[in-house]
Each structure stands twice: as structure tokens, then as C-alpha cells.
């Protein structure tokens, strides 16, 4: 029996019928060369033979009814593997479109809160001798960095390794083959035992609110995000999702960062900004004032092997009012530089308060039923999760792409999250089906935005243009 | 804007996270002879081109939040067909097992109550040149007879007809090619405009309770069902489902009915009783007192083309304490004969009160959070829905089997519903995944129970034993 820490519990408070708080990864694998007919079925059977469940896969809510009052984990007994581990198939022709339809649908299904909060779906029928694994887990159990860690523990850097480790059996102690790099590592030093320093309690909403008030009094300039403009991204969201993907080679992104004098993360924000400017512009819905993004940063101490939540936020001004792409990118870089300085200036013990304060509007929205009707804190979340550097294999099947599928909140109808992997930069767009018609355009525009930056910065297109992986439910 | 009638609204009151109130049909079709590659994809595209939505497919709740207070239908605008009409595929080898797994999973997914409350899933990859269509609709929109009516309106009795009518475009006015026979037609005369005579209101739970009290005072013997024994079927249910199927030829069932001097429906109850006796016996969980079944009977007036709810109940004593199968079957026949007499003795205006009274315990359970902890009204629902007599075709594809997939309530972890069709008797078993391990055994035992009755009644097994279609999620 373990009461959730406030940073884990917050995902339970905001979990609701339209805003289920599960995150997921979509991994695309290619079959090993010369794999015989039935290879995938064999893999599934090997995985299914693993019946040991290690944390967090063995945890469930003690009482789903009390999830918003006193969320508590207990170890589940009699875990029904066939409920959690599922085998699906794509409709023909099994292309990116069909995959996008299925992922959109799987990600729209709420989880049964009376079960351990995870699902692993093996998906056959993907064209080009490939298959996919969609892994869903509640955000109160993992954050992005923790999720990637869990994922890679079941994989091997050795293409010839044939050992099969089920994701639910990997445990949290043993390190993965390639530890994930520390994201925003410079921030980790700020994190000094404030986690778990308070315990969740029935009056938690009230205490969050008072923490937020304190934080604002102590650091009035952090109120800046509340100046964010309203946009179509910031209404109530529906329960249905769309999912689309895009990917680049990491060297292309790095070359743009170098040439413009910004970070890789700034380029990612710049590409998202360009795509949003164009997408909203075409709908006649681009706000005059610039859009802002909340950018989660990990505050996990170095050497912390845990997978639970250790996240704070910085704010990025997306400068969507600037027409010139390079000037826009540099302005974004300046904005994130200032935001990081501001976060580092906060007293150590203030990080948790600051983070709580940012979540407070969502918690209050949930309790008051105001979801999506309040002024947005920021217009959308754009998150960059570092993944493994080198290629990984599942029983000889190469992991080709790794896409994050994320959460939405009322007032946050779009989430753009990237994951680097083996020289690639993969982006997952998770959106509200109702709010974002033709969301695949965002993915297409993001791809074209990189080409535009390369042209403006006079970078030779040395790398051939990749095929675009655009998958989305119509 | 239309306030739901009490008989429709009751399904909204009892709808909850563990007890979503959708019903479904599973139709198995064989491809037309010589159908070219891509035939099914062509059918899907033709269906998708139909963008007219007729009642009840165009209705949605005015406010899902008020569903238990004042449920009201409004006509939906901008219906998102790609949300409602879905294309899925079976994992290999695409047998009955894989189909059962998928149907169990689809039927476990709750509906998004902010959308029109239906889904149509075309499922490819079923072995033997077949495909399936799973159609899900909220019980507050249709009852069993209404559901079958809607279904057959999109089909043709002519194998050469190539007209494609989408289920959501058929309307409720035009008759189907073969009207469903009136189920329990003798009861229909009892139904005289009591429907819609009261309107739903916020105090509905209270008024139901007082109607129930009146009914008990007027007809004390109807309290009989409350003497039902507790059994493992009568605890709280989980949100997850299992689904299994069985089918016979109708002549076999009729021969047993004739030989034993009972009705076809009694034979169905007898087969269910035999299977339950054996299943619970093997688990050491057969109650000493006989199990009872609630048997929905249609009270739809002849000529009423509506599809909304017109259901009352009779009680059948399943006589599971009797070992001899023929004696057990005859005792069941005697029990249903008495129950029908009792229902016919009720004053005309009493039918709705009587029905409401039977639902009252469930409604009170929902409002009081007592679900599954009260004494059961009956141990399970066993329902027989008459389907079309002659073979039907969808654009030349023959409908081979038609299985009902039904609802569970807290305290009702199993539902057995049959549908007759073109000389067949098809049975769908819908169960709570947690309560009923190895539920496919019930389907197998039901098959063996018919063979046992045939032997005991010395009926020559003229018909060859059919292949058993047993599909269930492991």
C-alpha cells in the first residue's frame, strides 16, 4: 500500500472521461532478415509465457472510486495477462494510414481503473515486413523519461540476442542496455528530495491552490504564462483522439540548430511553431499575440533509476507573430534561454511548488467543471523526450521508429512530443479529434518547415529527404 | 428534443463504468462466390458513401452529464461517420478464437456518451472466406426486437440484389424484407398505450420505488423472484466482458420441444439450465435452491414499427436442483406456463409498473452504490429474440450466423441471449470477465446438453452434429 506522491497523484486528479491520463509509445519494428512464417506469433507466445509482474506493472489503484481523493497503489494479485497483453491486426493494406486509425482508436479507449494501468498491443499486418507495438500506461505511473527507460529495458543493443524479456517482467532495478541520457540535465541539480516531501490528502486541491498562491507571491514574474492568448487549441476536449507522426534524421535538426545558434529543442519548437502558424492561419484562427508552449523538463536527479514523475515546466514563446522563419527560431531560442534562467533562480524547495502551481488551473477546472473555459496557462504542450542513441532490437527485430503518444487536458487540445532514437528525431502529434480537423496537415507542415529553415539558412540538403510517415485517423 | 420514455430512460439510469448499457449483434457473412480481391474494401467504400443518418442513428444525448437526471435526445449535427463506422482486422489465424477475443474487447469498450450511441465495425480476416460485422447500439435506443428490425432493413432476401443500404440510412418507416415475427405475441394485446404515459423526471428513482411498492401490494405473488438464491453470478461485475457463441439447427430444438411437450423457449431455458448446473457444479458453486432466470418478453403492439423499448419480464424457475434432464425441462415448462398466466392476469395498466418494479432494485443499487451486494431479483437473464426466417444477403454476401451480444448489470454477471435465423438457433453468451473464468465451457456444455436431451428423449440424431462455434477471449 503506497499513497501516490503529489506529482504522481496529479495525473489521477485530472483523469476524466474526456481526459484519460494514459501515455503511450508506438514502436515500429522490422522483422529479422529471413524470419520464417509465424515468427511474430512465436514472439507473442514467448512474451505470453512471462508471468512475473514487476513494478509498475503490478500496481493498481486500491480504490478507483477514491482516485481523486486519496489515490493509493496496491500490488495486484491474479493479474490477467490476456487482458493486458493484446494481439491486433491492421486492416488492409496495412499502411501508415491504417496504423494511424488503429492507434487513434486505441488511444481513445479509456483504461479500466480497477486493473493495473497498462496495456501492450502487438499489431500485425503492417506493410513492408514490419509490425508495431503500442504500449499504454497511466501517466501517474511513469513520465516520459521513465517510460522510455522501461521500454528499452526489454530491448537489446545486440542484433543477434534472442533472449525475450517481457516489458512487464523487466523490473525497475536493472539498468537498460543504454541508459537514456538525462534530459535537461543541468536542471537535475535543482531536485533535492522535495519529491515525496508532502503526502496526498483529501484537501489536496486546496493545498495545491495555496501553494500556487505562495509561489506567485514569491516569484511574481512566473505569472507571465497567464498572458497567453486564447486559441482554438484551448477549449474543452472530446474523448476521441487523432494521432499523426513525422520523423527526420537528427543530423538535419542539429545542423539547423548550429547554423541558427539555438538548441535542438529550440529547433523542435521552431518547427512546431511554423506548422501551427500555417495550420491556424489556413483556418483563419491564428491569434494576433504569439502562441506559448509549456515545455516539460525533467528534474530527475542523476542516477535516479525510478520511473515515476519528476517533471517541471518552462514556458516558450513560440513567436508565431513573426513571419521570417529564422528570426522566429532565434526569438524562440531567446525565450527558452530566459525561461531556464528563471527556473534555475527559483529556490530548490520551490520547484515542486512551482510545478504544482502550473497544474493548479487544471485541477481547479476538474473540481469546478470549468474545463476548457478558463484562460489557458499556455496554448499547448511541446515535449522532447530523449531516447536511446544506438539501434535496439527485440529478439532480432530492429526498432525502426519510436513515437510518443501523449495526454490532452481540457484547454489543451494538442500535444506535440518528440523522441530521439538512433540518429532519428521522431515526432508524435496527439490531438482532440473534434477540435483538430485534418490534423495530419500539422505533420506535413512540420516536415516542410524543416526544409524551409534549411533553405533560409543555406544549408545544403546533403541528407536525402526522408519519406514522410504521416498517419492519422480520417 | 425528446425526453426519453421511462422504459428507454431506465437503461441510462443503470449505465455506469462497469455496466455500459450497449447491446450488439455479431453477424457472420460469407463472401459472394467468385468475389474478386478487394470486394470487402469496395463494400466498405460503398457503405461509407452513405451520409444520411436516420433515427435512431442520428440521436444523441442533449447532455451526457444529465443522463441520469433528465435524459433527452437531440438530433446530432455533423455526425463523424469515420468515428462510428470502423474497419478492423482479425489477428491470424482468424478463427473463432480470434473473433471471440476481438468481440470481447469491442464489447468491453464503453461508448462515448457525447456522440450518437452506435458503432458499426466491419471485421476482415475471418477464415473460410468470411467477414463479420459487429454493430453496437445503446439499449436506450433499441430493444432486442427493435435491433433485429433495424438490422434486417439493410439486408435483402434476394441473393442477386446488389443495392447497398447503410444501416444508419435505413430509417424506421420502411419495413424490412422480412418482418420479425412477434415475440411472445400473445402478450402484445396487454400493451395498450401505457408506454409514454409517464414522463421521466428528476425524482424518478423515488417514483419507481413507490410504483414497486404499489405493485407488490396489489399482486403479492410477484414478489416470488426475491426468493432467488445467491450465486456467484450475482456479485458486482467488472467492466470487462467475455463473449462466446453456440448454434444449433432450429429443427433439432423443435424436435426436443415437441417430444417433451414444452415450447422452443423452454428448451432454450433447459439447455441453459443444464449448462449452468454443470458449470457451477464443477466450480463447487451450484446453489441448493434452484436458479431463476428473468426472461424478457416483448410487449410491443402488433404493427408497431418502432424500435424503442417495449419489454416486460417473466420469471422462470430453472430447476437446477433436478438431476434428470427431461424432468428438469418439463419442470421449467410448467414454471414458464404459470409465469405467463400471472403476467396476463395483471391489469393492463399494470405492465409498466410491474416492469419498473423489476428494474427498481438495479436503479436503487446504482443510486446507493450497492451494486451487486443486494439479494438478486433473479440469477441471470435468458432472452430469446426471434429473427428472420429466411436467408438474408448483404450485397450478395450471405448472412450465415447472427449472434446477440448483451448487457450485464451489477448482480447479473451472465446474459444468455439467442436469436433464431433461417432455420438456425444462435446463442450468444455475454459474461463478466472476472466472474466467469473459462466461460467458453458454458457454450460447450450447452451443446452437449442438447445431445443429452435427444438421447434421453430417444430422438434419432437425424441431423448431423453441427460444428460448434465456440469463441471466447481466453
- Give residue-wise pLDDT tens across range B4-50: 877 778 788 888 889 999 999 999 999 999 999 999 999 999 999 99
**Nearest-CB residue to B89 (from A90, A109, A112):** A90
Task: Judge whether B270 and B449 are in contact, CB under 8 Å.
Answer: yes
Q: Residue B88: its chain A contacts at CB < 8 A?
A: 89, 91
Report d(CA B213, CA B353) in Å as an integer.
Answer: 10
Give the count of beta carbons closer than 10 Å to the beta carbon of residue B80. Answer: 16
Q: Which residue in A147, A115, A143, A149 sits closest to A134, CA to CA?
A: A147
Model confidence at B473: pLDDT above 60: no
Joined grid coordinates for residue A280 = 491556424
What Cα–Cα distance (Å) separates residue B174 from each residue in A67, A442, B17, B117, B309? 49, 44, 36, 22, 19
Note which residues in 280-319 of chain B have CB less than 8 A from chain A: none
**A86 vs B: CB within 8 A:** yes
For residue A145, what pLDDT is reported? 73
For residue B411, what pLDDT is reported? 85
CB contact set of B228 (below 8 Å; sequence gap of 6+): B289, B291, B292, B375, B376, B377, B378, B379
Q: Residue B474: its chain A contacts at CB < 8 A?
A: 82
Identify whether residues B306 and B360 lie together within a single domain.
Answer: yes
CB contact set of B408 (below 8 Å; sequence gap of 6+): B19, B237, B241, B414, B415, B430, B431, B432
Helix (H, G, I), strand (E, B) or coil at A312: strand
Q: Which residue in A359, A356, A312, A319 sits closest to A335, CA to CA?
A: A319
Task: Give the closest-approach CA distance of A239 to chain B in angstroms.
Answer: 7
Look at residue B291 and tell me if it is in a domain: yes
Joined grid coordinates for residue A262 = 539555438
Q: Residue A105: its chain B contacts at CB < 8 A?
A: 86
Task: Judge whether B442 and B281 are in contact, CB under 8 Å.
Answer: no
Identify whether residues B376 and B291 lie together within a single domain.
Answer: yes
**Nearest-CB residue to A473 (from B17, B82, B101):** B82
Task: Give the closest-approach CA distance of A98 to chain B in angstroms.
Answer: 9
**Chain B CA closest to residue A103:** B88
Q: Residue A114: its chain B contacts at CB < 8 A?
A: 18, 238-239
Report d(CA B238, CA B230) in Å as an integer.
Answer: 18
Q: Which residue in B112, B409, B18 sits closest to A16, CA to CA?
A: B112
For residue A448, what pLDDT is reported? 97
Given the residues A22, A139, A247, A401, the one annotated as active site:
A139
Helix (H, G, I), strand (E, B) or coil at A3: strand
Task: Give the closest-approach CA distance of A116 to chain B in angstroms.
Answer: 13
**Nearest-CB residue to A124 (from B41, B92, B113):** B92
Helix (H, G, I), strand (E, B) or coil at B15: coil
Read off φ and ψ for residue B235, nearest 5 degrees. Answer: -95, -175
CATH code for the domain in which residue B31 is found: 3.30.559.10
Identify whether residues A104 and A226 lie together within a single domain.
Answer: no
Look at residue B269 and tell me if it is in a domain: yes
- The sheet carrying A292-298 orders its strands as A241-249, A424-432, A414-421, A380-385, A292-298, A311-317
**Chain B CA closest to residue A239:** B112
Which tens digits make up the pLDDT trace of B126-168?
Answer: 999 999 999 999 999 987 777 888 888 899 999 999 988 899 9
What Cα–Cα distance (Å) separates residue B123 from each residue in B46, B101, B126, B403? 16, 12, 8, 15
**Chain A CA closest to residue B238:** A114
Q: How many domains does chain B have?
A: 2
Ramachandran category for residue A422: left, alpha or beta (phi over 0 → left; psi -120 to 50 → alpha):
left
Report d(CA A200, CA A72) in Å as an integer.
Answer: 9
**β-strands A130-138, A118-126 pairing:** antiparallel
Range of the domain at A129: 2-161
Task: Judge whether B82 and B67 are in contact, CB under 8 Å.
Answer: no
Look at residue A246 and tell me if it is in a domain: yes
Q: Of A112, A128, A161, which marks where a domain is finished?
A: A161
Model confidence at B195: pLDDT above 80: no
Task: Give the closest-approach CA distance of A93 to chain B in angstroms.
Answer: 10
Q: Residue B91: its chain A contacts at CB < 8 A?
A: 87-89, 124
* Distance, CA of A246 to chain centre: 14
Give me the residue label for grid cell 494576433.
Answer: A288
Identify whether residues B362 and B436 lie together within a single domain.
Answer: yes
Burial of B50 (0-12, 13-18, 19+ CB in 10 A): middle
Identify whether residues B345 and B428 lie together within a single domain.
Answer: yes
Helix (H, G, I), strand (E, B) or coil at B59: strand
User: Could you tell me how many CB contacts below 8 A there are between chain A and chain B?
Assistant: 57
Note which residues in 2-41 of chain A have CB less than 8 A from chain B: 17-18, 41
Task: Judge whether A213 and A353 are in contact, CB under 8 Å.
Answer: no
Identify whether residues A264 and A136 lie together within a single domain.
Answer: no
Q: Residue A432: its chain B contacts at CB < 8 A?
A: none
Report d(CA B259, CA B274) in Å as an integer.
Answer: 18
Identify whether residues B211 and B147 lie together within a single domain.
Answer: no
Report d(CA A233, CA A381) in Å as an integer.
Answer: 11
**β-strands A292-298, A311-317 pairing:** antiparallel
Q: Do A110 and B110 touch (CB under 8 A)?
A: yes
Residue B269 pairs with which residues in a beta bridge?
A: none
Burial of A399 (0-12, 13-18, 19+ CB in 10 A): buried
Identify whether residues B156 and B262 lie together within a single domain.
Answer: no
Which H or E run includes A210? Answer: helix A204-218
Identify whether residues B290 and B416 lie together within a single domain.
Answer: yes
Identify whether residues A150 and A224 lie together within a single domain.
Answer: no
Query: Which of B37, B112, B436 is most worth mutating to test chain A (most A CB atoms within 10 A of its CB)?
Result: B112
Query: Which of B17, B123, B370, B435 is most worth mutating to test chain A (most A CB atoms within 10 A of its CB)?
Result: B17
For residue B150, what pLDDT is reported? 86
Task: Give the closest-approach CA distance of A464 to chain B in angstroms.
Answer: 35
Look at residue B194 and tell me if it is in a domain: no
Give mean pLDDT, residues B342-363. Answer: 60
Q: Do B105 and A92 touch (CB under 8 A)?
A: no
Alpha helices in B132-228 (DSSP H): 144-153, 204-218
B373 annotated active-site? no
Confidence of residue B171 (pLDDT cuts 50, 70, 90): confident
Report d(CA A148, CA A183) in Å as an integer.
Answer: 12
Task: Judge whether A289 and A225 are in contact, CB under 8 Å.
Answer: no
- Interface ipTM above 0.95: no
Look at residue A212 and tell me if it is in a domain: yes
Q: Which residue in A113, A197, A131 sits closest to A398, CA to CA?
A: A131
Report d(CA B243, CA B84) in Å as an integer.
Answer: 22
- The sheet carrying A2-3 orders its strands as A2-3, A72-75, A59-61
**Chain B CA closest to residue A42:** B92
Q: Do B112 and A238 touch (CB under 8 A)?
A: yes
**Chain A CA closest to residue B99:** A88
Q: Do A112 and B240 touch (CB under 8 A)?
A: yes
Range with the poorest average pLDDT among A312-326, B44-58, B272-286, B365-379: B365-379
Q: Do A92 and B91 touch (CB under 8 A)?
A: no
Identify whether residues B255 and B153 lie together within a single domain.
Answer: no
**Per-residue confidence of chain A (474 residues) as pLDDT tens digits?**
788 876 778 788 888 889 999 999 999 999 999 999 999 999 999 999 999 999 899 999 998 888 877 889 999 998 999 999 999 999 989 998 899 999 999 999 999 999 999 999 999 999 999 999 999 999 999 877 778 888 888 999 999 999 888 999 987 544 444 433 333 332 333 222 223 323 322 333 344 444 444 444 443 333 344 467 889 998 889 999 999 999 999 999 999 999 999 999 999 999 999 999 999 999 999 999 999 898 877 665 556 666 666 567 778 899 999 999 999 999 999 998 888 777 666 555 555 655 655 555 555 555 445 556 666 778 998 999 888 999 999 999 999 999 999 999 888 899 999 999 999 999 999 999 999 999 999 999 999 999 999 999 999 655 444 434 444 444
CATH code for the domain in which residue A435 is found: 3.30.559.30
Report d(CA B149, CA B27) in Å as an integer.
Answer: 14
Range with the poorest average pLDDT among A192-201, B174-183, B422-431: A192-201
Give the count of beta carbons closer than 10 Å to the beta carbon of residue A48. Answer: 15
Q: Which residue in B403, B398, B375 sits closest to B472, CA to CA?
A: B403
3-state SS track over A175-203 = CCCCCCCCCCHHHHHHCCCCCCCCCCCCC
Identify whether residues A99 and A206 lie together within a single domain.
Answer: no
Query: Which of A15, A92, A102 is most worth mutating to test chain B (most B CB atoms within 10 A of its CB)?
Result: A92
Residue B241 pairs with which residues in a beta bridge?
A: B432
Look at residue A395 and tell me if it is in a domain: no
Identify which of A140-154, B312-326, B396-410 has the greatest average pLDDT: B396-410
**Nearest-CB residue to A89 (from B89, B239, B434):** B89
Given the residues B139, B183, B247, B401, the one annotated as active site:
B139
Note which residues in 416-455 of chain B have CB less than 8 A from chain A: 433-434
For residue B299, what pLDDT is reported? 60
Look at residue A221 and tell me if it is in a domain: yes
Q: Residue B112: its chain A contacts at CB < 8 A?
A: 108, 238-240
Give me the residue label for grid cell 467504400.
Answer: B45
- The sheet carrying B311-317 orders its strands as B241-249, B424-432, B414-421, B380-385, B292-298, B311-317
Look at residue B467 and tell me if it is in a domain: no
Amino acid at each position: 500500500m503506497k499513497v501516490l506522491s503529489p506529482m504522481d497523484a496529479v495525473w489521477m486528479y485530472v483523469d476524466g472521461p474526456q481526459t484519460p491520463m494514459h501515455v503511450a509509445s508506438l514502436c515500429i519494428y522490422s522483422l529479422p532478415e529471413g524470419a520464417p512464417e509465424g515468427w511474430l506469433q512465436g514472439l507473442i507466445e514467448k512474451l505470453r509465457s512471462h508471468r512475473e509482474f514487476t513494478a509498475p506493472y503490478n500496481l493498481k489503484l486500491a480504490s478507483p472510486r477514491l482516485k481523486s481523493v486519496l489515490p493509493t497503489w496496491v500490488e495486484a494479485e491474479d493479474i490477467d495477462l490476456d487482458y493486458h497483453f493484446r494481439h491486433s491486426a491492421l486492416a488492409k493494406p496495412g499502411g501508415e494510414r491504417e496504423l494511424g486509425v488503429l492507434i487513434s482508436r486505441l488511444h481513445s479507449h479509456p483504461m479500466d481503473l480497477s486493473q493495473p494501468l497498462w496495456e501492450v498491443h502487438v499489431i500485425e499486418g503492417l506493410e513492408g515486413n514490419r509490425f508495431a507495438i503500442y504500449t499504454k500506461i497511466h501517466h501517474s505511473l511513469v513520465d516520459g523519461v521513465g517510460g522510455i527507460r522501461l521500454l528499452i529495458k526489454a530491448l537489446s543493443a545486440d542484433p543477434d540476442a534472442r533472449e525475450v524479456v517481457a516489458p512487464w517482467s523487466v523490473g525497475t532495478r536493472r539498468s537498460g542496455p543504454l541508459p537514456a541520457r538525462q534530459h535537461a540535465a543541468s536542471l537535475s541539480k535543482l531536485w533535492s528530495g522535495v519529491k515525496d516531501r508532502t503526502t496526498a490528502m483529501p484537501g489536496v486541491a486546496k493545498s495545491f491552490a495555496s501553494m500556487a498562491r505562495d509561489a506567485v507571491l514569491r516569484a511574481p514574474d512566473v505569472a507571465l504564462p497567464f498572458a497567453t492568448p486564447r486559441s482554438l487549441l484551448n477549449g474543452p476536449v472530446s474523448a476521441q483522439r487523432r494521432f499523426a507522426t513525422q520523423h527526420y534524421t537528427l543530423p538535419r535538426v542539429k545542423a539547423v540548430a548550429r547554423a541558427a545558434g539555438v538548441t535542438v529543442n529550440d529547433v523542435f519548437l521552431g518547427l512546431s511553431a511554423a506548422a501551427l502558424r500555417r495550420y491556424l492561419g489556413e483556418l483563419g484562427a491564428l491569434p494576433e499575440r504569439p502562441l506559448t508552449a509549456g515545455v516539460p523538463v525533467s528534474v530527475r536527479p542523476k542516477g535516479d533509476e525510478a520511473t515515476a514523475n519528476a517533471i517541471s515546466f518552462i514556458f516558450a514563446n513560440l513567436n508565431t507573430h513573426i513571419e521570417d522563419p529564422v528570426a522566429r527560431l532565434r526569438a524562440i531560442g531567446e525565450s527558452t534561454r530566459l525561461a531556464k534562467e528563471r527556473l534555475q533562480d527559483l529556490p530548490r524547495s520551490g520547484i515542486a511548488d512551482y510545478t504544482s502551481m502550473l497544474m493548479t488551473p487544471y485541477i481547479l477546472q476538474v473540481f469546478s467543471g470549468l474545463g476548457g473555459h478558463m484562460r489557458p496557462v499556455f496554448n499547448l504542450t511541446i515535449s522532447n523526450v530523449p531516447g536511446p542513441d544506438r539501434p535496439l532490437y527485440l529478439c532480432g527485430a530492429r526498432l525502426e521508429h519510436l513515437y510518443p503518444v501523449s495526454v490532452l487536458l481540457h484547454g489543451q487540445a494538442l500535444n506535440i512530443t518528440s523522441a530521439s532514437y538512433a540518429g532519428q528525431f521522431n515526432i508524435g502529434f496527439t490531438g482532440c479529434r473534434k477540435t483538430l480537423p485534418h490534423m495530419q496537415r500539422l505533420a506535413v507542415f512540420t516536415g516542410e518547415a524543416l526544409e524551409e529553415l534549411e533553405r533560409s539558412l543555406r544549408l545544403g540538403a546533403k541528407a536525402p529527404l526522408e519519406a514522410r510517415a504521416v498517419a492519422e485517423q480520417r
